[in-house]
Structure 1
Amino acid sequence: MRKEVRTIVYDETLKLEAYRFEGIVQPFPNHFHEYYVIGFVENGERQLSCKGKEYTISNGSIILFNPNDNHACSQHDDGTLDYRGLNISKATMLNLIEEITGKHKLFGFSKSVIVDEEVCCYLKSLHEMIMNGETDFEKKEQLLLMMSTLFQKYEQPFDEGIPECRQEIEKACKFMDDNFSDRIYLDQICKYSGLSKSTLLRAFTREKGVTPYRYLETVRINEAKKMLEKGVSPIETAMLTGFSDQSHFTNYFTRFIGIAPSIYRDIFAQKDEEE
């Protein structure tokens, strides 16, 4: 079996993360991100689930995830996965949209999986530039060309619609967002939201695509990323984000992000040393 290689680079100029996985067999559980994800498969075949739909992705497939799109994937065969991707925060995306369209409003992607030779060409070229530390002008130009094409072909309003029990579900989310560092029980969430356990679990999972517990896990991991980026140690991050111990935290972080928290922290420590 090929050796797994996982590389992540934060581009300070573009304000986004570029990452590359080579020889990966690790499955990723159902989860979501606070940011946009744009990526493509270089080699391998995977089964992807996104927002209740199933896809088989392989060489040339491009994935487009909006913030909060729940998704999971696992290897489809006995092979491995080679994958490149970009993580783009909502703030960075909002600036890109305004630069390209003049509108100060977030867009979403209308499709989760596409095959588009033009987009793939831009994406591969941009990813290589970021990984190789190419000049800022060329990278920014390539990013704007790629995003202009994506907006033109796959834009949709960034609107999640009005779900059943929306207010109660949002109250449940707010409770977990505000108290993620504490030990949280289902009874507490139900009391705060005003829903019974069965109603909460059904309505929450239907609307968010993940269970309340998986939502809480994802909130904790997203907060952990922010702390690690600021140089907080993994052990302190584990304590501040509500994990029982560092081992528990490391296992979850690696499952969701694909690399260990110490490695993720070192990426940003190296960036600070270079500045």
Structure 2
Amino acid sequence: MAEITASLVKELRERTGAGMMECKKALTENNGDIQAAADALRKSGLAKADKKASRVAAEGRIAMAQAPGKAVLVEVNSETDFVAKDSNFLAFTEEVAKVALSSGADDAEALKAAKLGSGETVEEARTALIAKVGENVQVRRLARMESGNLIGAYVHGGRIGVLVELKGGSDELARGLAMHVAAMNPPYVSPAHVPADFVAREKEIALAQVKDSGKPAEILEKMVAGKIAKTLAEISLTGQPYVLDTNQTVEAALKAAGAEVIGFVRLAVGEGIEKQADDFASEVMKQAGLA
């Protein structure tokens, strides 16, 4: 049998991210063949990944990749913020974003089959990463934008990502608007994009609020119209004060630049995922036999 040296164990550990004892055992079982040992650990890692697949992964990172005329955002989730900051996890998210841009994949499911520079598919690399970090990892969402117009892209702290399509204007304005959407999270581009049923409901509420004021009908109508206009401005990108120049609205900034926002997309890590609230104190007491 080949000698299992410390340097061989170290090399396998660096290649696979597995623990020292697991690496030594794999090398021993495969007569020092590092490739066979790595394959054995990968197989073992896949089995572990299956057990972790049901865990809630609501932390993670938004990664972005951009090229002339196109950009993508990808959300990759982990179970904890600790793993979301791990160098292996960060490298994976950046690679996934790059291949999402180049592959043309339109959703996370299609992205799984795309190949990374290593020759692995995204799905194969994901399961290998699970074995390394010991947590469930999911490639959850992909947002793509391709256009002959300008595309502003911005990621804030790896937690929020935004793409904005801008007709006219400048690259600086497009990115500034992406920053605005990241900060203010407007649901709609403009008041004209707000659904009619929402407007009708707001009118009904506003009328109920002023009907007992004793004012003439024409005054009440103006009061309701003012309330509705204020509400629609608050929930619309164009009606909000521009975060990079709060002395003007986004609409005014667009008008000054001769530009128009065609649309935008915003992704935030974990939004829509029901997070599990762990009572760690109770868990520790239970394991210690104190509860």
How does the TM-score come out when normalised to structure 1? 0.28
Larger radius of gyration: 2
How does the TM-score come out when normalised to structure 2? 0.27
